[in-house]
Amino acid sequence: MGNRYFEVLERASSFLEKQGKEGYSILFVFLERKGWSKTDWLLHLKEEITPEEEEQVNEDLKQLVQNYPPQYLLGYSDFYENRFSVNEHTLIPRPETEELVDRCLRENPNNELNVVDVGTGTGAIGISLKLARPAWQVTAIDISDEALKVAEKNAEQLKADVHFIHGDGLKPMKDQKIDILISNPPYISNAEWNLMDESVRTFEPKTALFAENDGLAIYQQLAEEAKEKLNVASKIYLEIGFQQGNAVKQLFQQAFPEKQVQVAQDLSGNDRMVIVSPKKEEG
């Protein structure tokens, strides 16, 4: 009798752990490739694995031990209940960014609003907003042509009518007034390089991760550019690094003295968002 599923996966998992890697990642990739749930796994784990499947496990293992992200291996990542294609030209969408999308949706109705997503990457933010709020006019901007190709493909697959533009920050937005600006820009400073997970440092696109001026350069650019493009009722939703709350808040408070600027935490309790909104009426 040949090897059984659980024997092969257990060996692979402990091999990864001995190398100081995440042991579960090989099972995650295996289940995704098979389209199996955890229940399916429990039902089938004692069955015999085919030579082709074992070969695939070994191929995946070689990549994972080199810190290659599981999402790039599979070619997709799930975000806000939808599946997005990803590759090495795009960041892998993060759960914290789902919280930014969630916050934006909770606070804004399905009226005709002009919404702009800067640094869209896979299109995860802009597409998720459009699917949940069909009345919004959503424009997504990215400086990377390669990322935009992935985003456009995702919009097509998910049937989201999002307008994509190649450009830097808000420069492509000429005279249109923006109701909601949302962005998960590059915000990691060069000093934080050593804190990054090795798989992120090695494989995810640097231009989507790093920014000058202690990671604040794109916020400075957006604060400046947004002054011309936002009206009194407009709002801004930004993802930030966990140490950047005060600095980003000050930047936007200076740019928008008439608005309320607050730092909000993610589910882990870290500063993760800066939200700029009209001041509440007193009384």
- Mean pLDDT, rounded, of the chain: 91
Tell me, yes or no, whether 150 and 94 share the same domain.
yes
Residue 279: pLDDT above 80?
Answer: yes
139 among the known binding-site residues?
no
Region 86-106 average pLDDT: 94
Nearest to 120 by CA among 78, 76, 166, 74: 166
Quote the CA–CA distance of 262 and 250 in Å, as a whole number. 10
Tell me, yes or no, whether 55 and 184 share the same domain.
no
Question: Helices marked H in the chain — which ranges?
Answer: 5-18, 24-34, 38-44, 51-65, 70-74, 95-107, 124-132, 145-157, 198-203, 212-215, 217-229, 245-255
What residues have CB less than 8 Å from 189, skipping those under 6 apart? 210, 211, 213, 214, 215, 216, 241
Region 209-216 average pLDDT: 67
Could you tell me if residue 9 is inside a domain? yes
Q: How many structural domains is the chain composed of?
A: 2
Tell me, yes or no, whether 130 and 229 share the same domain.
yes
Tell me, yes or no, whether 145 and 86 share the same domain.
yes
Q: Which of 47, 66, 85 finishes a domain?
A: 66
119 among the known binding-site residues?
yes
Q: pLDDT grade, residue 283 (50/70/90)?
A: very low
Tell me, yes or no, whether 119 and 253 share the same domain.
yes
Q: pLDDT grade, residue 241 (50/70/90)?
A: confident
Give residue-wise pLDDT tens across range 123-175: 999 999 999 999 999 999 999 999 999 999 999 999 999 999 999 999 999 87
Tell me, yes or no, whether 90 and 121 share the same domain.
yes
Q: Is the pTM of this model over 0.95?
A: no
Tell me, yes or no, whether 164 and 27 share the same domain.
no
Quote the CA–CA distance of 208 and 86 in Å, as a whole number. 13
| CATH number of the domain to which 122 belongs | 3.40.50.150
Task: Print the domain residue range for 14.
Answer: 5-66
Residue 31: pLDDT above 90?
Answer: yes
Region 91-117 average pLDDT: 94
Could you tell me if residue 283 is inside a domain? no
Q: Which of 66, 98, 114 finishes a domain?
A: 66
Tell me, yes or no, whether 134 and 267 share the same domain.
yes
The pLDDT score that the predictor gives to residue 282 is 46
184 among the known binding-site residues?
yes
Tell me, yes or no, whether 137 and 165 share the same domain.
yes
Could you tell me if residue 36 is inside a domain? yes
39 among the known binding-site residues?
no
Exposed, middle or buried, 8 (CB in 10 Å: 0-12/13-18/19+)? buried
Tell me, yes or no, whether 81 and 28 share the same domain.
no
Region 31-55 average pLDDT: 96
Antiparallel, parallel or unpaired: β 271-278 and 137-142:
unpaired
What residues have CB less than 8 Å from 9, skipping those under 6 apart? 26, 27, 30, 45, 57
186 among the known binding-site residues?
yes
283 among the known binding-site residues?
no
Tell me, yes or no, whether 61 and 194 share the same domain.
no
40 among the known binding-site residues?
no
Q: What is the DSSP string of 115-142?
A: EEEES-TTTHHHHHHHHH-TTSEEEEEE
Could you tell me if residue 71 is inside a domain? no
Tell me, yes or no, whether 134 and 237 share the same domain.
yes
**Lowest mean pLDDT segment, chosen from 47-56, 114-123, 224-233:** 224-233
The pLDDT score that the predictor gives to residue 116 is 97
Residue 34: pLDDT above 90?
Answer: yes
123 among the known binding-site residues?
yes
Residue 277: pLDDT above 90?
Answer: yes
Exposed, middle or buried, 74 (CB in 10 Å: 0-12/13-18/19+)? middle
